[in-house]
Amino acid sequence: MEVLAERKIGDKVLKVVLGDITNESTEAIVNAANSLLRHGGGVAGAIVRKGGYEIQKESDKIVEKFGPVPVGKAVYTGAGKLKAKYVIHTVGPVWGEGNEEEKLRSAVRSSLEVAEKLGIKSVALPAISTGIFGYPKEEGTKVILEEVAKFLKERKNSSLKEVHLTNIDRKTAELFVKHLNNLI
């Protein structure tokens, strides 16, 4: 894991990390999931392969009980064998379905709200929707970064003190750095 950039926002810190999110040591990691929580490829596939099938089983129970997770919302499960304690599963938009930016902002916000409700201090997010779901990387990373920064600025008495934007792909991680540097 390599920290490419770091910025203080109030009493909180935002870091851009290059690496596999399944290796993160934050208390929770966010999964870029689909509504049925069928964790096949991308980040989701890596999480189940490394964390264990129990994450998939727990996800299936959530969908059985409450139905598919709406786009822009988030739920959580345990994290199996991963270093993190929780996996927060959020559903980003598929590029082309409409209202993508609003939905992506909502997915980021919902994930951070779940982290806050869990009372944890740190969480790592991937570049939700910018892989298999086809959201253009330049725009997607900007929306995600802006929304995280806004959340951290707004929340004064939050348990959440450290947020990582973690990506396995250097180009995408560097886009996060660029947007962070452009942040006022």
Which of 42, 51, 72, 80 is close enough to bind ligand AR6 by CB under 6 A? 42
- Asked if 30 touches ligand AR6 (CB under 6 A), the answer is no
Mask for 50-79, x = binds ligand AR6 (CB under 6 A) = ------------------------------
Query: Residues in contact with ligand AR6, total (CB under 6 A)?
Result: 27
- Asked if 104 touches ligand AR6 (CB under 6 A), the answer is no
- Asked if 128 touches ligand AR6 (CB under 6 A), the answer is yes
- Asked if 44 touches ligand AR6 (CB under 6 A), the answer is yes
Which residue stretch of 4-12, 97-105, 125-133, 149-157 sits at the interface with ligand AR6 (rule: CB under 6 A)? Answer: 125-133
- Concatenating the DSSP letter of every residue in the chain gives -EEEEEEEETTEEEEEEES-GGG--SSEEEEEE-TT----SHHHHHHHHHH-THHHHHHHHHHHHH-SPPTT-EEEEE-TTSSSSEEEEEEPPPTTSS-HHHHHHHHHHHHHHHHHHTT-SEEEE--TTSSTT---HHHHHHHHHHHHHHHHHH-SS-S--EEEEEESSHHHHHHHHHHHHH--
Which residue lies nearer to ligand AR6 by CB, 106 or 158? 106
Residues that bind ligand AR6 (CB under 6 A): 20-22, 32-34, 39-44, 46, 92, 126-133, 166-169, 172
